[in-house]
């Protein structure tokens, strides 16, 4: 997995995050949620690289913390971005990418 830090896109993602927030549209909210999720995915891949050689307490605790972050991310998703039958029928394609 290529991390944002590997290709110096951190500033671009911050700009895009601000832009998506300003739009306030469903698409903007979806892209904001995707950016947050990809940040968590990057953290997970970094832990996998570090913890791949052996199991240690630090890697375990870091994964537990990321699990909490992921659950928090999902709990903070607006209702219109959660998987529900009412959302599925009217959702744009980006909604399914988020799921």
Residue 73 parent element (H or E): helix 57-75
Phi, psi of 21 (to 5 degrees): -65, -40
Neighbouring C-beta atoms of residue 13, cutoff 10 Å:
14
Query: What DSSP designation does 98 have?
Result: H
Predicted confidence (pLDDT) per residue in 14-50, tens digit:
665 565 555 678 888 888 888 889 888 888 877 765 5
Question: Length of the chain, please?
Answer: 99
CA distances from 46 to 20, 71, 82 (A): 26, 19, 27
Give the pLDDT mean for 63-85: 91
Give 89 or 50, the one with higher predicted confidence: 89
For the chain, the average pLDDT equals 77
């Amino acid at each position: 997995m290529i991390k944002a830090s590997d290709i110096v896109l951190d500033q671009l993602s911050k700009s895009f995050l601000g832009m998506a927030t300003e739009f306030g549209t469903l698409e903007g909210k979806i892209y904001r949620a995707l950016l947050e999720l990809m940040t968590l995915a990057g953290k997970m891949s970094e832990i996998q690289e570090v913890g791949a050689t052996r199991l240690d307490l630090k890697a375990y605790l870091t994964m537990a913390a990321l699990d909490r972050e992921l659950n928090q991310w999902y709990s903070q998703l607006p209702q219109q971005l959660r998987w529900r039958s009412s959302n599925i029928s009217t959702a744009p394609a980006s909604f399914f990418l988020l799921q």
